[in-house]
């Protein structure tokens, strides 16, 4: 019976996500440099790996990511790939403005992976993603794994931090706020 209910709920969730995905990640962010602040920095030029630790803050346009430690890799084409690790007892975070107004997306997890080439953010363990209209949440998603595509605003949520869903491994939670129309006076 649980599977039948989920099967009935799935089309509604997909339709509501498509209807609410009218704003994409800030387009200009992809053309901005990645800036990093931290307490310590180690650079291996041969391997193109940078190990950054101590209160790490990564920014790229409106994208802001914070963590205890980070490993930043670069491929031959110059694309950056960041893995952020939460400080002990905390969570790594990100926040990014979406095109089309005062719309934001923010998330948190024990580990965050960011691929600048395809603007994909993956959240692992204790993951939470919020879409905001100003400061008001429009959607909140909790799970052990969330992938978020900043170009298309598509996100996927699973109940294990291995990016797959397994029966009995836990539950995901989705809260979708009702849409309200502003009425003229």
In a domain, 60, yes or no: yes
- The pLDDT score that the predictor gives to residue 147 is 94
Question: Does residue 183 fall inside a structural domain?
Answer: no
Residue 72 lies in a domain: yes
In a domain, 185, yes or no: no
Rounded distance between C-alpha atoms, residue 114 and residue 99, angstroms:
19
Determine, yes or no, domain membership for 182: no
Assigned domain for 134 exists: yes
CA angle at 147 for the pair 53 and 32, rounded to the nearest 5°:
60
Residue 95, CA distances (Å) to 58, 61, 179 in order: 11, 11, 23
By residue range, what is the domain housing residue 45? Answer: 2-176
Q: How many domains does the chain have?
A: 1
The Cα–Cα gap between 129 and 68 comes to 19
**CA dist., res. 122 & res. 95, Å (int):** 13
- Picking from 160, 68, 169, the residue whose alpha carbon sits closest to that of residue 110 is 68
The span from the CA of 67 to the CA of 110, in Å, is: 9
Smallest Cα–Cα separation from 75: which of 53, 49, 98, 57?
A: 49
Residue 60: pLDDT band with limits 50, 70, 90: confident
The per-residue pLDDT for 34 is: 82
Res. 181: pLDDT tops 70:
no
The CATH number covering residue 126 comes to 2.60.450.10
Whether 89 maps to a domain, the answer reads: yes
Write the pLDDT tens digit of every residue in 143-158. Answer: 999 999 988 888 899 9
Asked, for residue 145, whether it belongs to a domain, the answer is yes
Whether the CB-CB separation of 72 and 52 falls below 8 Å is answered with yes
pLDDT band at 7 (very low <50, low <70, confident <90, very high): very low
Q: Over the stretch 75-116, which tens digit does the pLDDT of each residue have?
A: 999 888 999 999 999 999 999 998 778 999 999 999 999 998
Residue 59: its H or E element: strand 49-60
User: For the chain, what percent of residues have pLDDT higher than 90?
Assistant: 50
pTM of the predicted model as reported, rounded to 2 decimal places? 0.78
pLDDT tens digits for range 9-54: 343 333 233 333 334 455 677 778 888 899 999 999 999 999 999 9
At residue 104, the pLDDT reads: 93
């Amino acid at each position: 019976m649980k599977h039948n209910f989920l099967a009935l709920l799935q089309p509604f969730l997909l339709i509501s996500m498509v209807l609410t995905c009218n704003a994409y990640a800030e387009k200009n962010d992809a053309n901005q440099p990645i800036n990093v602040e931290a307490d310590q920095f180690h650079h291996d030029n041969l391997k193109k790996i940078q190990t950054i630790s101590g209160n790490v803050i990564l920014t790229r346009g409106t994208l802001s990511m914070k963590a205890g430690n980070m490993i930043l890799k670069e491929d031959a084409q110059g694309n950056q790939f960041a893995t952020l690790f939460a400080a002990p007892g905390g969570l790594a975070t990100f926040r990014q403005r979406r095109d089309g107004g005062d719309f934001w997306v923010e998330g948190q997890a024990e580990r965050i992976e960011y691929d600048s080439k395809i603007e994909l953010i993956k959240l692992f363990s204790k993951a939470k993603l919020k879409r905001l209209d100003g400061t008001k949440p429009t959607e909140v998603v909790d799970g052990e794994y969330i992938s978020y595509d900043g170009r298309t605003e598509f996100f996927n949520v699973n109940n294990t931090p291995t990016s797959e869903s397994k029966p009995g491994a836990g539950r995901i939670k989705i809260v979708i706020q009702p849409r309200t129309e502003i009425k003229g006076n």
